[in-house]
Structure 1
Amino acid sequence: GIGKSAIDIGDILPLYFGLWTNSDMKSNKEIIQLYLNSDWKKL
């Protein structure tokens, strides 16, 4: 039923989001560093 689907989605989404954020951070590591460097230079 609906309750079972909600539980399944609740278990899957955190894992999927975690994997996506990990790959996103790795692929955009240089971009993130550039933003941090520009912020530090402004300070």
Structure 2
Amino acid sequence: MRITIEDLIAEGDRVTVRWTSRSTHKDKGELRGSPLPASR
């Protein structure tokens, strides 16, 4: 699994982060009822 922090913004006492994650699922099937995309 790879997590990339795209943006980190702080103003006063608030902070927000925008991130993306990528991973490969080795089993065929579903995840939470949704079909899995093709492996990378």
Q: TM-score interval w.r.t. the shorter chain?
A: under 0.3
Per the normalisation by structure 2, the TM-score is 0.21
Higher strand share: 2
Per the normalisation by structure 1, the TM-score is 0.21
Higher helix share: 1
Q: Larger C-alpha radius of gyration, 1 or 2?
A: 1
- Structure with the bigger RCO (C-alpha within 8 Å, sep 6+) is 2
